[in-house]
């Protein structure tokens, strides 16, 4: 093999390593964060839903306590967390993620997930009414509700809560000042989805043919296998670096900001990274297999090797 062809193979090898990063990113995303079924599995195998539920519960109690005495605030908060329970929360998480994934994949023009709270508000009214029935009448009178029966009191308390009949998720994100950055990320994922999903396969096909013409099938398998091995190992090491160092810094920042149970969020993020890292190791293992197949085929003469100048 002359120097020109060898130089071409080295350049292609470097491009293949880089293409491997793009391939692993797109393939991993398609199997994890851009896969609706993945969120159902993650919720079942982690404590993500209970973490979100705890955060919501603490936020509700803090908000309600500013308007009502602690005893009524505890009743309302308890009723809310029982009605809007963890199972309901899991369903809403899946509903919202499905909506945004459909947007990223081009099935919808805009994300438009809406949470219908009307039935839950009626359940909440009944729950508060039942809880109030257990409180002595004089305690209720102390907070100025003695002229109302329990049904009216429960209805009034629910009406005073910031619970609309419907909640638009996008509007909720806007209220939390995360809409612009989040939408930009979604738009980029949507815009470049074809790029990171299909381009790596096209490049692999083109470069495999070029290497095959230069080095024959055994050589092509060995070059491609080596590139996959290096790319998979580097990508996995990069992910482990994020898992070990960056996530710890993120959790420390969240804990400093007052977010409850940041370790639960850390566990969920690690769950995703571990799954992606496993895919990278399989990718590296596929590279080893290709190298062994190419070497074995050349040794046994199973493949016709293309003559080179």
**127-149 pLDDT tens trace:** 888 877 766 555 555 555 554 57
How does residue 308 score in pLDDT terms, banded at 50, 70 and 90?
A: very low
In the chain the beta strands, taken as DSSP E runs, fall at 114-116, 166-168
Q: For residues 20 and 231, what is the distance between their CA atoms, to the nearest angstrom?
A: 6
pLDDT average, residue stretch 22-50: 86
User: Contact 231/282 with Cβ under 8 angstroms?
Assistant: no
Q: Which residue has the higher pLDDT, 66 or 246?
A: 246
Percent of the chain with pLDDT over 70: 79
The b/e string for 97-135 (b: 16+ C-beta within 10 A; e otherwise) is bbbbbebbeeeeeebebebebeebbebbbebbbebbeee
**91-132 pLDDT tens trace:** 888 888 898 898 888 888 888 888 888 888 888 888 888 877
Q: Is the pLDDT confidence value at 71 over 70?
A: no
**Per-residue confidence (pLDDT) for residue 309, from 0 to 100:** 38
Q: Which residue has the higher pLDDT, 39 or 308?
A: 39
Q: Is the pLDDT confidence value at 260 over 70?
A: no
Q: Is the pLDDT confidence value at 163 over 80?
A: no
Q: How far is CA 216 from CA 5, 9, 209, 246, 268, in A?
A: 12, 12, 9, 43, 46
Tokens of 222: 């060995």
Q: Is the pLDDT confidence value at 286 over 80?
A: yes
Q: Is the pLDDT confidence value at 14 over 80?
A: yes
List, as own/partner pairs, every contact residues 120-127 make where C-beta atoms lie below 8 angstroms and the sequence separation is at least 24, other chains included.
Answer: 120/83, 120/84, 120/88, 121/158, 121/163, 121/165, 123/83, 124/79, 124/80, 124/83, 124/84, 124/158, 124/163, 125/154, 125/155, 125/158, 126/154, 127/79, 127/82, 127/83
pTM of the model: 0.76
Of the listed ranges 154-168, 232-246, 264-278, the least confidently predicted one is 154-168
Which H or E run includes 152?
Answer: helix 150-159
Q: Where are the alpha helices (DSSP H) in 116-149?
A: 118-132, 137-142
**Per-residue confidence (pLDDT) for residue 235, from 0 to 100:** 95
Percent of the chain with pLDDT over 90: 24
**Per-residue confidence (pLDDT) for residue 203, from 0 to 100:** 93
Of the listed ranges 36-50, 137-151, 162-176, the least confidently predicted one is 137-151
**Per-residue confidence (pLDDT) for residue 303, from 0 to 100:** 57
């Amino acid at each position: 093999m002359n120097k020109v062809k060898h130089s071409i193979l080295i350049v292609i090898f470097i491009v293949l390593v880089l293409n491997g990063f793009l391939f692993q990113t797109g393939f991993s995303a398609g199997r994890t964060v851009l896969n609706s079924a993945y969120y159902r599995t993650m919720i079942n195998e982690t404590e993500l839903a209970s973490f979100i539920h705890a955060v919501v519960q603490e936020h509700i109690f803090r908000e309600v306590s500013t308007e009502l005495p602690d005893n009524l605030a505890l009743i309302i908060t308890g009723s809310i967390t029982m009605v809007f329970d963890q199972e309901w929360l899991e369903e809403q998480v899946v509903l919202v993620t499905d909506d945004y994934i459909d947007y990223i994949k081009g099935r919808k023009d805009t994300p438009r997930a809406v949470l219908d709270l009307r039935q839950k508000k009626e359940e909440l009214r009944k729950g508060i009414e039942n809880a109030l029935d257990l409180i002595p009448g004089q305690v209720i009178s102390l907070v100025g509700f003695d002229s109302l029966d329990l049904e009216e009191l429960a209805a009034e308390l629910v009406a005073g809560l910031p619970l609309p009949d419907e909640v638009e998720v996008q509007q909720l994100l806007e209220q939390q000042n995360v809409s612009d950055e989040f939408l930009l990320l979604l738009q980029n994922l949507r815009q470049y989805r074809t790029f990171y999903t299909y381009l790596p396969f096209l490049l692999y096909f083109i470069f495999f043919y070029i290497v095959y013409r230069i080095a024959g099938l055994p050589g092509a398998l060995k070059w491609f296998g080596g590139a996959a091995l290096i790319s998979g190992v580097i990508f996995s090491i990069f992910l482990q670096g994020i898992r070990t160092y960056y996530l710890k810094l993120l959790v420390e920042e969240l804990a400093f900001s007052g977010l409850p149970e940041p370790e639960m969020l850390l566990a969920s993020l690690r769950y995703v990274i571990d799954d992606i890292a496993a895919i990278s190791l399989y990718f590296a293992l596929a590279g080893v297999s290709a190298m062994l197949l190419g070497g074995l085929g050349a040794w046994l003469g199973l493949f016709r090797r293309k003559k080179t100048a």
